[in-house]
């Protein structure tokens, strides 16, 4: 098991498949993009599958989420999913994507064994989308969402970050739209993980702001405490049910005490937390011929050092050197 000194057990693995992206969301990366990892730095498909196999068969991982950067840009994605679906015990598998390219890949991903997707969409207004992501691809994301649903990658969840002066007023409209389409909407508080270090505590839209805005149009009842488990989203029952909306208050309502995550970057580094300063190198071990037991031992030792919390509430908080797109969000 991947257990830490606070008794938390990691069963959920987030795997970043690439740090590259075809959008430039302003809360994530600068307009000019970033210095991408080079091919030799990236784990190969075989290396990724091997590490996931060790995680699933030796370390108790039961859920795998593929992310990035934009994971649909990884050429070997369908093959990686297919090989992971053959593992015993078979992990649950999902994908976080900006949705561009899902129309083309959704049914192949489903056939390969992917269970479901989270698609990121922050606005229903094409012009706002263009400003926020610096690309004119709103239509492709909406179409990707439809394709995911048609392919049965359900429940389709939609991730939304609200930004002041851009889409902050859209929360009720987005919820009405999500309910209409059968998508499960989750708002994520903006976190200090952008490459440009532009995040400001004063400027961010908080979970409290989001709930106030939603309540102008909907009745919200908190879901039972027990139903949340280790999920980061607090869920609310909308207008008496059956629809729900999630709010992930990573900054103002942290859920670190129940965290069950471990993370693997596209260049083979284990991270215990999005906000960790430390990384543990598995790629070096892999490439120097380590046996599975040795890889498992290194991974366990890394998780044993997991901190109690993100440190976001500490005035001396330091943003990690890698941005969200390079860690894997
Ligand atoms: N490219 C894919 C996507 O956008 O879904 C996967 C990677 S992206 C880093 C994963 C999630 O992180 C997205 O839902 C995105 O909105 C969110 N995200 C990125 N930067 C963020 C930030 N600074 N604060 C909060 N969420 C952020
Ligand atoms: Fe790309 Fe996702 Fe970052 Fe947007 S949030 S720039 S889609 S990695």
> Domains of the chain: which residue ranges?
2-327
Which residues lie across from 236 on neighbouring strands? Answer: 222, 245
Give, using CA atoms, the residue closest to atom 4 of ligand 2.
Answer: 25
The answer, yes or no, to whether any atom of ligand 1 lies below 6 A from the CB of 272, is no
> Residue 34: phi, psi to the nearest 5?
-130, 175
Rg (the chain; Cα; Å): 19
* Predicted pLDDT of residue 317: 83
Ligand 1 pocket test target in 30, 120, 246 with most atoms within 8 Å of CB: 120
> Residue 95: phi, psi to the nearest 5?
-140, 135
Per-residue pLDDT of the chain (329 residues; tens, 9 = 90+): 999 999 999 999 999 999 999 999 999 999 999 999 999 999 999 999 999 999 999 999 999 999 999 999 999 999 999 999 999 999 999 999 999 999 999 999 999 999 999 999 999 999 999 999 999 999 999 999 999 999 999 999 999 999 999 999 999 999 999 999 999 999 999 999 888 888 888 889 999 999 999 999 999 999 987 777 777 889 999 999 999 999 999 999 988 999 999 999 999 999 999 999 899 999 999 999 999 999 999 999 999 999 999 888 777 788 888 888 888 88
User: How many Å lie between the centroid of ligand 1 and the Cα of residue 297?
Assistant: 30
User: How many Å lie between the centroid of ligand 2 and the Cα of residue 141?
Assistant: 12
The answer, yes or no, to whether any atom of ligand 2 lies below 6 A from the CB of 71, is no
* Predicted pLDDT of residue 316: 78
The answer, yes or no, to whether any atom of ligand 1 lies below 6 A from the CB of 163, is no
The CA distance from 52 to 13, in Å, is: 8
* Predicted pLDDT of residue 7: 97
The answer, yes or no, to whether any atom of ligand 2 lies below 6 A from the CB of 70, is yes
The answer, yes or no, to whether any atom of ligand 2 lies below 6 A from the CB of 23, is yes
Closest ligand 1 atom, CA of 159?
14
* Predicted pLDDT of residue 282: 98
Query: Where does residue 128 rank: exposed (0-12), middle (13-18), buried (19+ CB within 10 A)?
Result: middle
* Predicted pLDDT of residue 233: 87
Length in residues, the chain: 329
Give, using CA atoms, the residue closest to atom 10 of ligand 1.
Answer: 329
Closest ligand 1 atom, CA of 327?
9
The answer, yes or no, to whether any atom of ligand 2 lies below 6 A from the CB of 249, is no
Q: Which ligand has the minimum distance to the alpha carbon of residue 159?
A: 1
Q: Which ligand has the minimum distance to the alpha carbon of residue 196?
A: 1
The answer, yes or no, to whether any atom of ligand 1 lies below 6 A from the CB of 160, is no
Q: Which ligand has the minimum distance to the alpha carbon of residue 249?
A: 1
CATH number, domain 2-327, options 3.20.20.70, 3.30.750.24, 3.30.1180.10, 3.40.50.300: 3.20.20.70
The answer, yes or no, to whether any atom of ligand 1 lies below 6 A from the CB of 117, is no
User: How many Å lie between the centroid of ligand 2 and the Cα of residue 66?
Assistant: 14
* Predicted pLDDT of residue 57: 98
Structure tokens at 325: 């797109």
Q: Which ligand has the minimum distance to the alpha carbon of residue 15?
A: 1
* Predicted pLDDT of residue 320: 86
* Residue 169 neighbours by CB under 8 Å, 6+ apart: 213
Q: Which ligand has the minimum distance to the alpha carbon of residue 248?
A: 1
* Predicted pLDDT of residue 111: 98
User: How many Å lie between the centroid of ligand 2 and the Cα of residue 188?
Assistant: 14
The answer, yes or no, to whether any atom of ligand 2 lies below 6 A from the CB of 69, is yes
Closest ligand 1 atom, CA of 67?
6
Q: Which ligand has the minimum distance to the alpha carbon of residue 23?
A: 2
Question: SS3 letters for the chain?
Answer: CEECCCCCEECEEEEECCCCCCCCCCCCCCCCCCCCCCCCCCCCHHHHHHHHHHHHHHCCCCEEEEECCCHHHCCCHHHHHHHHHCCCCCCEEEEEECCCCHHHHHHHHHHHCCCEEEEECCCCCHHHHHHHHCCCCHHHHHHHHHHHHHHCCCCCEEEEECCCCCCHHHHHHHHHHHHHHCCEEEEECCCCCCCCCCCCCCCCCCHHHHHHHHCCCCCEEECCHHHHCCCCCEEEEECCCCCEEEEECCCCCCCHHHCCEEEECCCCEEECCCCCCCCEECHHHHHCCCCHHHHHHHHHHHHHCCCCCCCCCCCCCCCCCCCHHHHCC
The answer, yes or no, to whether any atom of ligand 2 lies below 6 A from the CB of 270, is no
* Predicted pLDDT of residue 319: 87
The CA distance from 55 to 98, in Å, is: 26
């Amino acid at each position: 098991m991947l257990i830490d000194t606070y008794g938390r057990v990691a069963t959920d693995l987030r795997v970043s498949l690439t740090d590259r992206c075809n959008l430039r969301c302003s809360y994530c990366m600068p307009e000019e993009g970033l210095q991408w990892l080079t091919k030799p730095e990236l784990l190969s498909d075989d290396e990724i599958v091997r590490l996931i196999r060790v995680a699933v068969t030796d370390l108790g991982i039961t859920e795998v989420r593929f992310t990035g950067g934009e994971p649909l840009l990884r050429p070997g994605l369908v093959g990686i999913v297919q090989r992971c679906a053959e593992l015993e015990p078979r992990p649950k598998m999902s994908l976080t994507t900006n949705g561009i390219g899902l129309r083309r890949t959704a049914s192949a991903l489903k056939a390969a064994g992917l269970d479901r997707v989270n698609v990121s969409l922050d606005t229903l207004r094409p012009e706002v989308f263009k400003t926020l992501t610096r690309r004119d691809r709103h239509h492709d994301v909406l179409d990707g969402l439809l394709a995911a649903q048609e392919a049965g990658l359900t429940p389709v969840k939609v991730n939304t970050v609200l930004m002041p002066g851009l889409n902050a007023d859209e929360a009720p409209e987005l919820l009405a739209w999500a309910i209409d389409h059968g998508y499960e909407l989750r708002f994520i508080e903006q976190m200090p993980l952008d490459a440009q270090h532009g995040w400001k505590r004063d400027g961010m839209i908080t979970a409290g702001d989001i709930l106030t805005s939603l309540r102008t149009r909907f009745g919200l009842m908190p879901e039972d405490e027990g139903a949340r488990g280790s999920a980061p989203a607090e869920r609310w029952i909308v207008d008496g049910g059956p629809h729900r909306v999630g709010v992930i208050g990573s900054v103002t309502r942290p859920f670190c005490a129940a965290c069950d995550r471990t993370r693997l970057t596209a260049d083979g580094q284990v991270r215990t937390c999005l906000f960790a300063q430390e990384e543990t190198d598995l790629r070096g071990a892999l490439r120097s011929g380590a046996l599975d037991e040795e890889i498992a031992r290194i991974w366990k030792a890394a998780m044993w050092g997991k901190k109690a919390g993100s440190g976001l509430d500490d005035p001396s908080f330091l943003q990690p050197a890698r941005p969200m797109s390079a860690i894997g969000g």
